[in-house]
């Protein structure tokens, strides 16, 4: 799940930020032990990539600020992606998908 536009509040750690953002935007509650940080990507903003195995059957539903911002011209449709299919989606920058696959 890619959460673009997410950011730390105050002195949050990257793990705390990821847990809060996932809960706010998808209503999924995770514990810190569920997230494994894969790497940090240096770009205009530091981006942290995490991996979590989640036993969840239904597609996640958008909530929070992202739901409020959604309209016909700006649709955020969350969904689960199998690791093997990461190179088939529009994950930016593209080389990130290969890096994630190699680390998992």
* pLDDT tens by residue, 35-80: 888 878 776 667 778 877 777 667 788 888 778 888 888 777 777 8
CB 1 within 8 A of CB 22: yes
CB atoms inside a 10 Å sphere around CB 7: 9
pLDDT at residue 23 greater than cutoff 80: yes
Is this prediction's pTM over 0.95?
no
Burial of 25 (0-12, 13-18, 19+ CB in 10 A): buried
């Amino acid at each position: 799940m890619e959460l673009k536009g997410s950011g730390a509040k105050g002195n949050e750690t990257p793990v705390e930020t990821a847990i809060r953002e996932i809960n706010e935007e998808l209503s999924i509650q995770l514990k810190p032990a569920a997230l494994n940080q894969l790497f940090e990507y240096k770009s205009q903003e530091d981006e942290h990539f995490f991996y979590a195995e989640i036993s969840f059957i239904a597609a996640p539903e958008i909530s929070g600020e992202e739901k409020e911002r959604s309209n016909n011209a700006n649709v955020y449709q969350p969904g689960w992606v199998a690791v093997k299919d990461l190179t088939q989606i529009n994950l930016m920058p593209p080389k990130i998908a290969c890096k994630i696959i190699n680390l998992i």
